[in-house]
Structure 1
Amino acid sequence: MIIDQTERSNASSRRPPHPWAMWPTLSIAGVLTVAHAVMGAFGDYWIDEVYMLAAGRFHPDWGYADQPPLVPMIGAAMDFLAPDSMFVLRLPVALATGATVVLVALLAREFGADRRAQTIAALAGGTGLWANLVGHWLAPYSFEPLLWTALFLPLVRWLRQHSQGVADDRLLLVFGLVLGINLQAKFQVAILCAAMLLSTLVVGPRALLARPKLWAGAGIALVIASPALIWQALHGWPQLEMARVVAAESPILSGGRSGTAVMLLLYSGVLGTALVLIGLWLLLTKTWLRPYRMFALAMIALWIFFVVTAARPYYLIGMYGLPIAAAVVGLQRRRETKPSRWGWAAWPVYAATALAAGGMIFSADAINRGFSTEIIHTHGDRVSDGIARKVSDVYLSLPAEQRSRTAVVGDSYISASMLDIGSRHHPLPEVYSPHRGYGFFGHPDDGVDTIVLFARKADEARPFFTDARLVTDDGDLKVWVLSGRTVPWEQIWPAVTTMQ
């Protein structure tokens, strides 16, 4: 009896998932977690990391101008448990990076991957270039691969079950719960959901949109995200202004739209890039992947959107696991129907992948130190300690009576964060900055008529004071003392606050 290809594909789709490749997956995840945890114990704060810590520790709130509150809350909690411990501060990120490997393997299992294919998916998921660069830095994008992959997992399982006629709609409530957590970490996941919604309308399965529990899950997500969303609404949606800031910085950070277009894919790593491209092609062309086709369309739409809007070149890192999972199953099916005598040829690719990922892990500290030094223009064991000592010396040199009327101002959210963190070891008054998120933390009160300004120049603040004195000149960043405030802070702050 001859069984046609359609029947064979349908029979294959009805098979239960293969056993989980637990030990290979956990081994890869464990090695990756340990590597990031060890590297995280050394070096200085990353520029976004010190802002997360300062925001959560010194300025706790329901929301922030440039991000939701989850990651600052994690930073504050870790710092409360072990102040000044880089290892403890970064441990949640290392664990999240390792956990992503496990979820990518489980995602591949949902597509039908056997133990070997799951292991390859875990290797690819654990060796992405960008993910391994930031895999021990406390920043929102460091958690994004874990959170997006966790978001896909219940949806892919529902789609698999739906194709078999046995879908459990409670998975859609889980999807909504994970979506709410995502929204408390980064708002970009809302763009992902919009892309998936439009893709589902185009290629299906449209039955998904008719499920009441999907929209109940969306309601759960909105409830979880409501504190941050209400904060944004009350403050005029400053997150939208950040999109213009990101576009303006694109030529410097990623070489503009062309650089972003390339890096949006290459950040998935040596093996990952090949599997992402293969997976997208399979999702778009293979009948047995038809229930999941909307993911490929959504990823392509996001790639176009992020290139056109000159977004950050890492905005797709959370989506790599899905086409990787599809690709390893496609290669598995080819292996099952047409065994290759050249399987050994993949080992050099695996080795190159591991070496490239390891290089990114161990280069993270050097990149961090060089980038921070370029921005802050100071050196030392910790940049935050160096600039806090410098500014504290100037502050303490003021007469005691004047110090009682003095605040410290940093010219950027980075320098202000460094000063906030460093103030725990060097005497400083409250720290302010008119830059980005710090501009929303408030301004000095009317009792302050003198500021110690850590900035490249004092041109913007000088018109509001009768005297401006350069006290310390250390390259591009200097320490100024401005005294004799002439107008209320309510007038000064709007004039100097900027998101640029």
Structure 2
Amino acid sequence: MHTEVRATAARPPSTTAGPPAFARRPLLLVAAAFAVVHLVAGAFGGYWIDEVYMLAAGRYHPDWGYVDQPPLAPLLAGAMGWLAPGSMIVLRLPAVLISAGGVLLAGSLAREFGGDRRSQVLAGLGFATGLWTSLVAHWITPYTLEAPLWMLLCLLMVRWCRQHAEGRADDRLLLGLGGVIGVTMQVKVHVAVLCAALLLCLLVFGPRDLLRRPMFWGCIGIALVIAAPTLIWQAAHGWPQLAMSEVVQAETPILSGGRSGAALSMVLYMGVLGVPLCLYGVARMLTAAEFRPYRFIAAAALAQYAFYIATSGRPYYVVGMYGVLLAAGAVAFQRRREARAAAGRRGAAWLAWPAGALAVLAAGAVVVMSSMLATAFGVPADRALAGEVATAYRQLPAQQREHTAVVGESYILAAMLDAHTHEYGLPPAHSAHRGYGYFGTPDDGARDVLFVGEDPEPWRPHFAAVRRIDGGGTPLWLLTDRQEPWPQLWEQVRSLK
């Protein structure tokens, strides 16, 4: 009898019991507060530059794929713009709700790791106050939608691994995993790098039994079927998404401060709570026996961190991994707290309160800042730009106006004009830059161009005359008497850079 009791006591808790109760009410409160803050912030300011591009692409150029991203975010933005034209709240509502879902996913991940209610709420708060999350959660962009989808992917992986360690894995989770991967591929293709990192680290650290499951191959098949539209589009257009990697590398020194700046930003984006939670979570996932089944996930996070530094990727490419890391960190700190309590020692748990308050304040400051970024990168506010261009367009003689196309130097300028096309009576905008360069040329009847931007030099050889006309904050140029057919001209001026 004595021997039996000792054997039972020595058995790991995870083999005899499921995860703790879900902290539904406090996590819902955190998610609701998060959503309200971002909806209010989203009602102010103009369009963010990537957001207005999503809106214009999805509303006026719906397609199965695009040069620089898959179709889901543009189509979602276009649908919101169609439902409520001009409403910033409606446009941004899906992004806010999906981001708020990340709070629940972070708590769920902590629960899967065995975290109690306090750890689950800490993980949810850590996600909600992440600096990158605070910046983008109310913008309808691919990188906003991507992070919660990565967290859902990780949640399914963690749940399967937990059940596998308990000897009762439900392989149907793998089919759901395939669906999540496929949908995420329709948001951003970087999930392919995540999957490659997970697979390689799985081969090194295990559990390799996953690869022998028939439903694992079903997972791959489902993912490929769902991702097929954007993959087919990319193949048909010569894989321009791959060419974009060179553009990203060229922009890294300016946007991220080079590799060292990107490496630092990847850490700072975690937030005040996220930094200690993520770093401690990685350390414990790699070393603690409790986290052995999930070791490959932490290794995959580090592998991606190193990969994107080496390839000069954007710092936010790894943000989707933060949810699982900070959830592990919250549970690891819980274990420290429990061990100290069992030993009769007082810990430093009281630090969680000031750290949480500081995290909320820092996140709030970033949210406020995000609503002021409409004029970033020297781009004027969207409505002001459309008004200036509309004034110049109406001042053209009526006969000339009928044969004049409006062209933006960059995809950003073209998208900001398209956002107010109907409001200001402008024709559809064109641009030879990035994705807009693949949307098509102006009509054959367009002999002249009202060029919006700083540098019309690449266009000068293709027109008889180029002169600057009165504008506002952005230079406007009138290019007259086109000298060659649009398809031939377009191939010479189109550029991803």
Alignment TM class, shorter chain as reference: over 0.9
Does residue 1:369 correspond to 2:374, yes or no? Answer: yes
Structure 1 counterpart of 2:416, from 418, 426, 442:
418
- 2: distance between equivalents of 1:281 and 1:53? 41
- 1: distance between equivalents of 2:208 and 2:49? 43
Aligned twin of 2:464? 466
Deviation at 1:403, TM superposition (A): 2.0
Structure 1 counterpart of 2:214, from 208, 212, 215:
212
User: How far does the alpha carbon of each residue in 1:103-146 deviate from its partner, in whole angstroms, 9 at most, with x for none?
Assistant: 11001111111111111111111110011111111111111221
Deviation at 1:275, TM superposition (A): 0.7
- 2: distance between equivalents of 1:4 and 1:197? 39
Letter in 2 for 1:456: E
- Contact 1:409 1:451 (C-alpha < 8 Å) held by counterparts: yes
Deviates more, 1:76-85 or 1:1-10: 1-10
Does residue 1:57 correspond to 2:68, yes or no? Answer: no
Deviation at 1:267, TM superposition (A): 0.4
Does residue 1:495 correspond to 2:497, yes or no? Answer: no
Letter in 2 for 1:64: Y
- 2: distance between equivalents of 1:135 and 1:411? 28
User: How far does the alpha carbon of each residue in 1:328-369 deviate from its partner, in whole angstroms, 9 at most, with x for none?
Assistant: 222222222222343223211111111111111111112x13
- Contact 1:9 1:288 (C-alpha < 8 Å) held by counterparts: no
- 1: distance between equivalents of 2:396 and 2:362? 52
Letter in 2 for 1:344: W
Does residue 1:308 correspond to 2:310, yes or no? Answer: yes
Letter in 1 for 2:388: K
Structure 1 counterpart of 2:322, from 303, 320, 323:
320
Deviation at 1:457, TM superposition (A): 2.1
> Within 5 A, what are the aligned runs for 1:373-384?
374-376=377-379, 378=380, 383-384=381-382
- 1: distance between equivalents of 2:463 and 2:188? 39
- 1: distance between equivalents of 2:207 and 2:276? 27
Letter in 1 for 2:238: G
- Contact 1:13 1:288 (C-alpha < 8 Å) held by counterparts: no
Deviation at 1:271, TM superposition (A): 1.0
Deviation at 1:405, TM superposition (A): 1.7
- 2: distance between equivalents of 1:424 and 1:103? 40
- 2: distance between equivalents of 1:294 and 1:180? 21
Letter in 2 for 1:184: Q
- 1: distance between equivalents of 2:7 and 2:390? 75
> Within 5 A, what are the aligned runs for 1:141-220?
141-220=143-222
- Contact 2:389 2:471 (C-alpha < 8 Å) held by counterparts: no
Deviation at 1:453, TM superposition (A): 0.6
- 1: distance between equivalents of 2:347 and 2:475? 65
Aligned twin of 2:28? 26
- 1: distance between equivalents of 2:408 and 2:270? 36
- Contact 1:82 1:88 (C-alpha < 8 Å) held by counterparts: yes
TM-score, length of structure 2 as denominator length: 0.96
Q: Percent identity?
A: 50
- 2: distance between equivalents of 1:369 and 1:237? 31
- Contact 1:36 1:94 (C-alpha < 8 Å) held by counterparts: yes
Aligned twin of 1:266? 268
> Within 5 A, what are the aligned runs for 1:272-283?
272-283=274-285
Deviation at 1:430, TM superposition (A): 2.5
Aligned twin of 2:361? 355
Q: SS of the counterpart of 2:12?
A: helix
Deviation at 1:14, TM superposition (A): 3.6
Aligned twin of 2:441? 443
Deviation at 1:45, TM superposition (A): 0.3
Letter in 1 for 2:213: R
Deviation at 1:10, TM superposition (A): 2.8
- 2: distance between equivalents of 1:75 and 1:453? 26
- 2: distance between equivalents of 1:248 and 1:4? 62
- 2: distance between equivalents of 1:221 and 1:482? 48
- 2: distance between equivalents of 1:425 and 1:415? 16
Deviation at 1:13, TM superposition (A): 4.5
Deviation at 1:9, TM superposition (A): 6.5
- 2: distance between equivalents of 1:345 and 1:68? 43
- Contact 2:127 2:133 (C-alpha < 8 Å) held by counterparts: no
Q: SS of the counterpart of 2:316?
A: coil
- Contact 1:149 1:319 (C-alpha < 8 Å) held by counterparts: yes
Letter in 2 for 1:455: G
User: How far does the alpha carbon of each residue in 1:82-111 deviate from its partner, in whole angstroms, 9 at most, with x for none?
Assistant: 110001111111111211000110011111
TM-score, length of structure 1 as denominator length: 0.95
Letter in 2 for 1:361: V
- 2: distance between equivalents of 1:440 and 1:55? 11
- Contact 1:42 1:87 (C-alpha < 8 Å) held by counterparts: no
User: How far does the alpha carbon of each residue in 1:432-465 deviate from its partner, in whole angstroms, 9 at most, with x for none?
Assistant: 1000000000112322211111010221111111
Letter in 2 for 1:444: P
> Within 5 A, what are the aligned runs for 1:105-116?
105-116=107-118
Deviates more, 1:324-333 or 1:236-245: 324-333
Deviation at 1:53, TM superposition (A): 0.3
Aligned twin of 1:429? 427
- Contact 2:337 2:347 (C-alpha < 8 Å) held by counterparts: no
Deviation at 1:474, TM superposition (A): 3.9
Equivalenced residue count is 491
- 1: distance between equivalents of 2:409 and 2:369? 28
- Contact 1:406 1:429 (C-alpha < 8 Å) held by counterparts: no
- 2: distance between equivalents of 1:352 and 1:4? 45
- 2: distance between equivalents of 1:422 and 1:80? 13
- 1: distance between equivalents of 2:394 and 2:363? 46
Q: SS of the counterpart of 2:466?
A: strand
Change (3 A) 1:14 1:326: farther
Deviation at 1:11, TM superposition (A): 3.5
Letter in 2 for 1:166: R
Does residue 1:342 correspond to 2:348, yes or no? Answer: yes
Unaligned runs of 5+ residues in structure 1 are none
Deviation at 1:404, TM superposition (A): 2.2
Structure 2 counterpart of 1:244, from 240, 246, 249:
246
User: How far does the alpha carbon of each residue in 1:301-341 deviate from its partner, in whole angstroms, 9 at most, with x for none?
Assistant: 00000101111111111110111111122222222222234
Change (3 A) 1:238 1:112: same
Q: SS of the counterpart of 1:60?
A: coil
Deviation at 1:6, TM superposition (A): 12
- Contact 1:385 1:422 (C-alpha < 8 Å) held by counterparts: yes
- 1: distance between equivalents of 2:457 and 2:145? 39
Q: SS of the counterpart of 1:338?
A: helix
Aligned twin of 1:403? 401
Deviation at 1:227, TM superposition (A): 0.8
Does residue 1:84 correspond to 2:109, yes or no? Answer: no
Structure 2 counterpart of 1:228, from 227, 230, 233:
230
Q: SS of the counterpart of 2:449?
A: strand
Q: SS of the counterpart of 1:325?
A: helix
Letter in 1 for 2:99: T
Deviation at 1:12, TM superposition (A): 3.7
